[in-house]
């Protein structure tokens, strides 16, 4: 196995941290198996009623544990000091490992996924292949996916607005989540096939994501009025937790995952717009001033030459990127380009979210037709995509009669399913660890966890530097 590129201190520090977690998780699973075996042996002579009751209790406990930490374990973890928890982990205390088995499993799973990414992207263990775009195959797979998904997606949902209490007819949580899902499928297919002819559609989808960033965050903060440190930290965790580890393990620049800094930036801007003088958000004139201020900030930073570089230059170490194909460009060029493409659409999302609770279908309009859009987002997405394909693809070239390359079909289906499954699992694991390490209403513990995380990271990094210097000292 050949590794591309030198081993970095970040990669070594990741291994130093994840190996003990793997060992602790495997040992905790062994302890749980041992405990379950002894438990079943002790109660093997009980009567059927007692056995049934005990089984139900055991199943309930297992269900709670599969979903995350049990309440007692979670309470113990948060009540104990960080030093105590760390010492119990290092000494492999049985009770601690059993209490936090779900957390260890989540950390081990994320570590395994990152190792898998490294093997795929930084070694020659798995062979490379050239991307081949076949329009017929692309459209066939997408149509097949729509047909299968339509069996479960065409459902009516009656979500109620937390602001007005009315049933939400437009852009409920179910609709926006499905909207995002279909765009993610096309993102995956676009990159897998290198389908450059649908680039315009992908650009629209990215703008739609940024629009939903403004819409979703405005809706939450305007209605919930939760500007707490814990909520802010949870939001940043959700956006950047996994991508930070990808940058460390794969030794990539943050800008290669440009969608993450983009969403982080526009989320921060929505948070700042509503968080400043938040007690006046109910006054329409104040909200109008805030929206106008958002436009002025964007104009100042992105439209006036030179301001963007001055404003972002202190963060060039984080947002900078040198394109090997264009080494003469500024390191902030990529960030300027990506963030500037959709610099206004998040404000449009905020405006729509402000009026969204009062949106209703006017009398005299064909409600049965208008209701197709909110109640059947899949149908709406199908129609929109079909129109785009017909206008922008089939008008250029006639359909070819090439036969399908079935091996690529099966490879794509496997890759697509694996990617979506890993993505969904990562979402669950990120939320599991978020609930463990970011307490909701304990700012002091949140600060302690942050300081402890920085300290542990520094220790691992310094140890990695020392280990990497050993081969050089021997030479």
pLDDT range class, residue 145, cuts 50, 70, 90: confident
Q: What is the structure's pLDDT at 271? A: 96
Task: Compute the average pLDDT of residues 256-274.
Answer: 94
Best-predicted range by mean pLDDT (48-52, 67-71, 153-157, 339-343): 339-343
3-class state of residue 323 by DSSP: coil
Q: How far apart, in whole angstroms, are the C-alpha atoms of residue 213 and residue 209?
A: 6
Q: Which two tokens stand for residue 35?
A: 């405990």
By the 8 A CB rule, do 366 and 353 touch?
no
By the 8 A CB rule, do 427 and 181 touch?
no
End-to-end CA separation in angstroms for the chain: 24
Q: What is the structure's pLDDT at 189? A: 86
Instruction: Calculate the alpha carbon distances from 248 to 9, 21, 457 in Å.
Output: 9, 18, 12
Q: What is the structure's pLDDT at 280? A: 92
Q: What is the structure's pLDDT at 74? A: 52
Report field, pTM of the whole predicted structure over 0.75: yes
Spell out the SS3 assignment of 352-392.
HHHHHHHCCCCCCCCHHHHCHHHHCHHHHHHHHHHHHHHHH
By the 8 A CB rule, do 236 and 446 touch?
no
Q: Which region holds residue 383: left if phi is over 0, alpha if psi is between -120 and 50, else beta? A: alpha
Tell me the β-bridge partners of 123. 3
pLDDT range class, residue 255, cuts 50, 70, 90: very high
Q: How far is CA 355 from the centre of its chain?
A: 28
Between residues 101 and 162, which one has the greater pLDDT?
101
Q: What is the structure's pLDDT at 207? A: 92
Q: Which two tokens stand for residue 98?
A: 């059993």
Q: Which two tokens stand for residue 291?
A: 């929206």
By the 8 A CB rule, do 86 and 94 touch?
no
Query: What long-range pairs does 243-250 form, CB within 8 A, spacing at least 24?
Result: 245/14, 245/110, 245/114, 246/114, 246/117, 248/10, 248/11, 248/13, 248/14, 249/10, 249/11, 249/14, 249/114, 249/115, 249/117, 249/118, 250/117, 250/118, 250/121, 250/122
Backbone angles phi, psi at 167, to 5 degrees: -70, 130
Between residues 268 and 47, which one has the greater pLDDT?
268
CA-wise closest residue to 3 among 242, 250, 248: 250
The overall average pLDDT reported for the chain is 79
Q: What is the structure's pLDDT at 418? A: 58
pLDDT range class, residue 394, cuts 50, 70, 90: very low
Residue 357, pLDDT above cutoff 80? no
Dihedral (Cα; 264, 268, 274, 275), 10-degree rounding: 130
By the 8 A CB rule, do 217 and 294 touch?
no
Q: Which two tokens stand for residue 273?
A: 């717009």
Residue 51, pLDDT above cutoff 50? no
Q: How far apart, in whole angstroms, are the C-alpha atoms of residue 159 and residue 168?
A: 6
Surface-to-core class of residue 319, CB atoms within 10 Å of its CB (0-12 exposed, 13-18 middle, 19+ buried)? buried
Q: How far apart, in whole angstroms, are the C-alpha atoms of residue 417 and residue 377?
A: 22
Residue 370, pLDDT above cutoff 60? no
Q: How far apart, in whole angstroms, are the C-alpha atoms of residue 452 and residue 65?
A: 26
Task: Compute the average pLDDT of residues 269-286.
Answer: 94
Tell me the β-bridge partners of 3. 123
Task: Compute the average pLDDT of residues 366-389.
Answer: 45
Tell me the β-bridge partners of 167. 160
CA-wise closest residue to 186 among 139, 152, 136: 139
Task: Compute the average pLDDT of residues 83-106.
Answer: 92
- Any idea how long the chain is? 475
pLDDT range class, residue 402, cuts 50, 70, 90: very low
Q: What is the structure's pLDDT at 392? A: 40
Q: Which two tokens stand for residue 256?
A: 């290669």
CA-wise closest residue to 463 among 87, 16, 89: 16
């Amino acid at each position: 196995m050949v590794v591309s590129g030198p081993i970095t201190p970040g990669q070594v520090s990741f291994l130093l941290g994840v190996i003990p977690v793997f060992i602790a998780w495997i040992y905790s699973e062994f302890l749980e198996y041992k405990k379950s075996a002894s438990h079943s042996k002790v109660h093997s002579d009980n009567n059927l009623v007692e056995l049934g009751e005990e089984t139900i209790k055991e199943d309930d406990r297992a269900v709670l544990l599969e979903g995350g930490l049990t309440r007692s374990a979670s309470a113990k973890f948060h009540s104990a000091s960080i030093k105590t928890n760390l010492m119990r982990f290092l000494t492999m205390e049985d009770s601690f490992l059993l209490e936090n088995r779900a957390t260890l499993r989540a950390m081990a799973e994320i570590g395994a996924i990152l190792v898998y990414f490294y093997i795929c992207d930084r070694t020659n263990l798995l062979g490379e292949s050239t991307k081949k775009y076949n329009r017929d195959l692309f459209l066939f797979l997408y149509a097949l996916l729509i047909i299968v998904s339509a069996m479960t997606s065409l459902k009516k949902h009656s979500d109620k607005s937390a602001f007005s209490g009315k049933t939400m007819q437009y852009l409920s949580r179910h609709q926006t989540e499905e909207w995002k899902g279909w765009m993610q499928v096309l993102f995956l297919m676009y990159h897998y096939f290198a389908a450059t002819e649908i680039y315009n559609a992908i650009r629209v989808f990215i703008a739609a994501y940024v629009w939903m960033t403004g819409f979703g965050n405005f809706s939450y903060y305007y209605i919930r009025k939760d500007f707490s440190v814990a909520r802010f930290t949870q939001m940043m965790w959700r956006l950047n937790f996994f991508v930070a580890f990808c940058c460390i393990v794969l030794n990539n620049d943050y800008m290669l995952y440009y969608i993450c800094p983009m969403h982080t930036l526009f989320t921060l801007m929505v948070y700042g717009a509503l968080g400043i003088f938040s007690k006046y958000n109910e006054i329409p004139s104040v909200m109008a001033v805030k929206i106008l201020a958002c436009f002025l900030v964007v104009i100042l930073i992105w439209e006036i030459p030179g301001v963007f570089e001055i404003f972002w230059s202190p963060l060039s170490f984080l947002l900078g990127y040198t394109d090997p194909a264009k080494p003469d460009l500024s390191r902030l060029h990529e960030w300027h380009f990506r963030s500037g493409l959709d610099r206004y659409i998040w404000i449009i999302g905020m405006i729509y979210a402000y009026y969204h609770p009062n949106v209703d279908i006017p009398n005299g309009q064909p409600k049965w037709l208008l209701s197709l859009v909110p109640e059947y987002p899949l149908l709406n997405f199908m129609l929109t995509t079909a129109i785009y394909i017909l206008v922008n693809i089939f008008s250029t070239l006639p359909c070819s009669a090439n036969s399908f390359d079935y091996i690529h079909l099966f490879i794509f289906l496997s890759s697509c399913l694996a990617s979506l499954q890993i993505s969904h699992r990562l979402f669950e694991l990120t939320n599991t660890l978020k609930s463990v390490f970011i307490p909701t209403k304990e700012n002091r513990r949140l600060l302690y966890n942050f300081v402890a995380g920085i300290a542990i990271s520094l220790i691992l990094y310094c140890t990695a530097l020392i280990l990497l210097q050993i081969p050089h000292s021997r030479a």
